[in-house]
């Protein structure tokens, strides 16, 4: 069953990822009438929100764009940093949306940041237990029920993280779209392209959350489903 779950969501994730890349490729070929680069848009959005302690930097890779709250940087891939198109506008403003969340102490972002080290520890513990379990239920010298508590507990943390990530990502996109529209960064048609691109980006997080919830339900059923 767990193999089936992995296969189903792997296919779903692959399909969404391909759709996302296809959308970004399509919208990257349409130049903005405003002729602003992703870096220009990011700096302008930060300034409009009175954020002056966040740097906009270019990082290697494709779709490697992210906001780093630790060093307060909006990290944009070359295609976005230098791009002057609807896709670049969508990504740059979205990442700045996270910077605005950070500056305004957005509750869901604060919660996700708090969960990051806990989630990382839970992932490491889960990997150790699952690998050891391949060599027998008592490989760690622990009774099977106790291993079940460790697995379910660890995966609950991971699942919580994926769920908390959803409002953070959707809110960043909503902030981005509202700003580019009100600031007249994009035309109506460019706005629709940006909205569509961000929708498919958000879908990757939705698939991840559904996969995590389904896997958690499976583990609960395996370890505790047959009890009287």
Q: Is 192 a catalytic residue?
A: no
Residue 41 CA to residue 65 CA, distance in Å, equals: 14
Residue 174 CA to residue 29 CA, distance in Å, equals: 24
Question: Can you name the residues that pair with 117 across neighbouring β-strands?
Answer: none
In contact, 202 and 122? CB cutoff 8 Å: no
In contact, 114 and 132? CB cutoff 8 Å: no
Q: Shortest CA distance to 109 belongs to which of 78, 147, 82, 69?
A: 69
Among 60, 95, 190, 192, the one annotated catalytic = 95
Q: 10 Å Cβ neighbour count for 97?
A: 28
Residue 200 CA to residue 198 CA, distance in Å, equals: 5
Q: 10 Å Cβ neighbour count for 75?
A: 21
Provide the CB-side half-sphere exposure for 129 (13 A, CA): 20
Active-site amino acid positions? 95
């Amino acid at each position: 069953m767990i193999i089936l779950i992995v296969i189903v969501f792997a296919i779903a994730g692959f399909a969404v990822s391909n759709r996302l890349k296809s959308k970004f490729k399509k919208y990257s070929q349409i130049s903005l009438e405003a002729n602003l680069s992703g870096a220009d848009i990011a700096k302008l959005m930060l300034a409009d929100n009175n954020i002056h302690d966040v740097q906009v930097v270019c990082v290697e890779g494709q779709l490697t764009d992210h906001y780093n709250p630790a060093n307060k940087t909006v990290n944009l891939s070359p295609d976005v940093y230098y791009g002057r198109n609807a896709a670049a506008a969508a990504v740059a403003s979205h990442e700045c949306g996270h910077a605005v969340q950070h500056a305004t102490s957005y509750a869901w972002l604060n919660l996700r940041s708090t969960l990051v080290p806990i989630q990382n520890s839970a992932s490491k513990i889960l990997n150790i237990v699952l690998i050891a379990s391949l060599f027998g239920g008592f490989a760690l010298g622990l009774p099977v029920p106790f291993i079940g508590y460790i697995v379910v507990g660890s995966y609950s943390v991971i699942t919580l993280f994926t769920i908390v990530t959803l409002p953070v990502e959707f809110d960043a996109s909503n902030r981005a779209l509202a700003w580019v529209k009100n600031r007249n960064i994009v035309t109506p048609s460019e706005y629709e392209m940006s909205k569509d691109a961000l929708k498919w980006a958000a879908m990757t997080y939705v698939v991840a959350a559904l996969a995590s919830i389904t896997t958690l339900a499976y583990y609960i059923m395996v370890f505790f489903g047959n009890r009287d």
